[in-house]
Amino acid sequence: MTYYIPDLLDGFTPDIEPDTAPDMAKLREAVSKGLAAGHGEARKRPKRLRRTLLIAVAVAALLSVTAIAAALGGFDWLRETINPPFIDAVEPVEQSVTDQGIELSVIAAGQYGSEAVMYVSLRDTTGAGLITQDAHFWPTIVAGTKVGVGGGPAMFDAESGTAVYQFYVALGEDTDLESSSLTLSATDIYSGAETMDIPMPGFDLAGAVANGTHIGTDAPNEEHPVGELTPGHLADIPGTGHAYVEAVGVINGRLTVQVGQDAGADTSYIFHPYLIKPDGTRLYALSYVSGITPPGSEEDVKEYCFSVDDSELDGWTLGFEVERWRAIRGDWELEVNFGQTWGVFETVTDVSVGETVFEDVSISLTPLRLRMEGVAELEFVEENYLKALEAALITADGEISVGTYGTAPILPTDVNDYYAAKDTLSYFAYWDTQSAIDPSTVTAIRIGDTVIELE
């Protein structure tokens, strides 16, 4: 059975920012919710564009890297089995490294200016079911410096135990992968989620609160409590083996429960704490979760808070709805040399939208997206903040809509500069393509009321 996975991640859009990575607990939760919704077999991608754009990708010769068999997990397999949206914007890389019985492969990649797209796979070489439909990981990618990554699962093939992922990479403006390499690494892979329900009737909640730390005012004055309880060890969470109630107290009037688990264990947990009232109904923790694990700690510690009167907890029971994930700890690293990199269409022009004129904006087009960037006075950016701009690519066969519903909002490049009310601000808008665009087939770009001819 083959599954198409992007729909499983509705509501989870990782940020693509340097030096950041998504909350893995949120990612695991998004995947498990999508699977529970019962998504079916892979959807077929619309007929691809004729392949006139070629991106050459060289294969690095590393002692720890082995060639991937083309029949399984290679570029031809990727095209024939999945035919992903940007297959025409990448070329074969076909490098792999194996640890803990999991083969991590960079199947294909392509760079365009300051961005790149990569197709990466995980394959269970043991036949023990280590890679499942919900398997996921988040790579660290370094190209000179650590770079931002976005994307996620694209397909799972149950027969071969292979999961494929599509990642977008935001490179630095001066990063040239033609003369330097990109390193992709990972240390944690999660799969095989199971659900558990763990009430703790033997835990004296009222007593723990009475004896716990109280920080701040008695009445909640903030949605998100400010402060931290001191980690300790009040009780083991039954059935987990390495998860604990570390502390219970009150922060800014919110009942706060601190939970910890061993960070390097072969299982990883996502906790959804609740309180059972004397009448048997449940009160769940607020959605806000605070991660307070100090650097170098061997525990992953989080705090959860409840909106409840902490003086009336007699007869209440603490409990947890739990997702238990298999955690495969290892050391996967590949140095990928992209070889030749391809330029992008770029120009500087004015763009008119009704009576508004965006002056001297930079326009760029790659197979992945259309982008507009400019600099203007604060007042102009404020007036146009979040304004939706329509855009389309014009070809001999008609217009190709780009972006969400053909539009994209105007946003400040640095939101901190915006809130600091600097006199001048840079701003941008970008429109993602739904599949690889061959720029040679585009004759013009339309943004708002302006048509930009491509030479």
Q: Measuring CA to CA, which residue among 166, 168, 151, 157 is closest to residue 81?
A: 157
How many whole angstroms separate alpha carbon 99 and alpha carbon 331? 7
Residue 416: exposure state from Cβ atoms within 10 A (0-12, 13-18, ≥19): exposed
Residues 26 and 13 occupy one common structural domain: yes
pLDDT at 1: 59
Domain end residue (candidates: 295, 325, 355): 325
Given this model, what pLDDT does residue 295 score?
A: 66
DSSP code per residue over 157-204: ETTTTEEEEEEEEE--TT--TTTS-EEEEEEEEEEEEEEEEEEETTS-
**Shared domain check, 151 and 11:** yes
Q: Are residues 125 and 42 in the same domain?
A: yes
Question: 314 and 219 in one domain?
Answer: yes
232 in the same domain as 180: no
* 252/289 same-domain check: yes
What's the number of domains the chain is made of? 3
CA-based angle 349:446:357, to the nearest 5? 45
Does residue 272 share a domain with residue 148?
A: no
User: Do residue 47 and residue 189 come from a single domain?
Assistant: yes
- Count the neighbouring beta carbons within 10 Å of the beta carbon of residue 47: 8
Both 9 and 127 in a single domain? yes
Instruction: Looking at the structure, tell me whether residues 222 and 139 fall in a common domain.
Output: no
Chunked into runs of 10 residues, the chain (455 residues) has average pLDDT values of 46 39 51 44 34 31 39 83 87 94 94 86 96 94 81 90 91 64 92 97 96 78 71 95 95 92 94 97 90 76 92 95 97 82 84 95 91 94 93 93 89 87 92 87 95 90
Judge if 394 and 420 occupy the same domain: yes
- pLDDT of 224 reads 63
Consecutive H or E run containing 361: strand 356-365
Residues 190/194/199/203 CA torsion (nearest 10 deg): -30
Output the pTM of the full model. Answer: 0.72
- Residue 235 CA to residue 452 CA, distance in Å, equals 66
Structure tokens at 439: 């720029």
Q: What is the CATH number of the domain that holds 297?
A: 2.60.40
- Residue ending a domain, among 290, 313, 336, is 336
Q: Are residue 150 and residue 29 in the same domain, yes or no?
A: yes
**Residue 202 domain boundaries:** 195-325
CA separation for the pair 255, 248 (Å, rounded): 8
Q: What is the pLDDT of residue 181?
A: 72
Q: Report whether 338 contacts 112 (CB < 8 A).
A: no
